[in-house]
Amino acid sequence: MQLHVLGSAAGGGVPQWNCGCKNCTAARAHRLPQRTQASLAASADGKAWVLFNVTTDIRAQLAADPLLAPRSARETPLGAIFLTDANVDHCAGLLDFRQAGELAIYSTQAVRETLLRNEIFAPLGRAPRVWHIIGDEPVDVCELRISVVPVKGLLPSYAGGTATPGAASAFLVEDRRGARALYAPIFAAVDEKFASVADRCDAAFFDGSFWSDGEMISLGLGTRTATMMGHQPVAGPGGSLEALRACPCPRRLYTHVNNTNPMLDPASSEAKQLADAGFEVATDGAVIELPEKVRARA
Ligand SMILES: [Zn+2]
Ligand SMILES: [Zn+2]
């Protein structure tokens, strides 16, 4: 299985157009890597690809990846699109697929209902496009088996912001050779079931939006905590780092990282804490091949 990290930032990217925070300023000056909004592509054979979340950066992300380019006059290697939730920053890129003939979208019923209620997305729910509901049963697509891993989450604020079943999901991706990956760019809490899925994966991506719960407030950039926005903070008691510290998955990566998160600076003490715990911060353009080749012993 191949995994391509198309983008690794939360909504707004790094730098965000209207943000002058420390990380955005450094990224603008290329002292830190620039990041587009989080999206992942997965493939069993390098030919047919499944996309997880589509942001407003999708056009540039596809253009930057030769394996995702059309191979004939009107074609795409993208076989399906999976949506973890209905947040604008995870779905707005669907509008870039309005030229598509056939298009297969998969999400929970809650996400489908929320998005198709909006007339701007409605054509994506009509033939020849198909918007499948993914529930308890896994889906076989592009030689991959994909299952929903339910996570605690909220509907987007435009849809009421309530805690609703199916509002947010993670996806378990398996190939026939037994490689397993987890994509979980948004969750409000790591529960036992979620942790047990992560434990059995070869690579896992976790919600790295905010380092601390009150990050946006303490920087004067917002009025809501991470929790109020449906994101479990990374650090602190009750943070995801503590909950996942013992997870034996060999590649544990934080993605969907907000530009305010201090762990984006590799020189920060926060980045050091992550590295010491065996976690990585995903970067745009990163490629992971599973199963990973056994590294030579030092
Ligand atoms: Zn987001
Ligand atoms: Zn910023």
What spacing in Å lies between the alpha carbon of 24 and ligand 2's midpoint? 4
pLDDT tops 50 at residue 244: yes
**Ligand of minimum distance to the alpha carbon of 92:** 1
Q: What is the pTM of this model?
A: 0.96
What spacing in Å lies between the alpha carbon of 230 and ligand 1's midpoint? 10
**11-59: per-residue pLDDT in tens?**
999 999 999 999 999 999 999 999 999 999 999 999 999 999 999 999 9
What spacing in Å lies between the alpha carbon of 109 and ligand 2's midpoint? 33
Question: Strands, E, within 53-98: which ranges?
Answer: 78-82
d(CA 51, CA 48): 10
What spacing in Å lies between the alpha carbon of 296 and ligand 1's midpoint? 37
The closest of 127, 136, 41 to 81, measured between CA atoms, is 41
**149-186: per-residue pLDDT in tens?**
999 999 999 999 999 999 999 999 999 999 999 999 99
What spacing in Å lies between the alpha carbon of 36 and ligand 1's midpoint? 11
What spacing in Å lies between the alpha carbon of 296 and ligand 2's midpoint? 39
**84-100: per-residue pLDDT in tens?**
999 999 999 999 998 88
Beta-carbon neighbours within 5 Å of ion ligand 1: 10-11, 89
What spacing in Å lies between the alpha carbon of 131 and ligand 2's midpoint? 34
Instruction: Name the β-bridge partners of 191.
Output: none
d(CA 252, CA 258): 18
What spacing in Å lies between the alpha carbon of 22 and ligand 2's midpoint? 7
d(CA 85, CA 254): 18
What is the reported pLDDT for 296? Answer: 47
What spacing in Å lies between the alpha carbon of 132 and ligand 2's midpoint? 36
What spacing in Å lies between the alpha carbon of 258 and ligand 2's midpoint? 8
What spacing in Å lies between the alpha carbon of 256 and ligand 2's midpoint? 14
Residue 164 has a CB neighbour count (10 Å cut-off) of 17
